[in-house]
Amino acid sequence: MGSGKPGIAPDLEVESLPASVAAGHDRQLEMAVEVTLDALKKNPVVIPQHPPYPNYHKK
C-alpha cells in the first residue's frame, strides 16, 4: 500500500528485540506509557470545580 511518499518520522525510536517480543513485552507500548506518565508528572491534569446545580424548586 505504499504511495511512494515518505512517512512521518517517529518522535522516539524504539527498538523491538525478538527475545523481548517473544517474552510478551511490547517495547513501543511500554515507552509510550513511560513518556505519557512523565508528561503527566510535569503537567498534571487540573479538574475544574463545577458550580452547584441550581435549585429550581426553591421559592
Written as tens digits, the pLDDT of the chain (59 aa) is 556 778 888 888 888 888 988 999 999 999 999 999 999 999 999 999 999 999 888 76
pLDDT on residue 8: 86
pTM: predicted TM-score of the whole model, two decimal places? 0.61
Q: For residue 13, which of 1, 25, 31 has the smallest C-alpha distance?
A: 31
Spatial distance between the Cα atoms of 26 and 20, rounded to a whole number of angstroms: 8
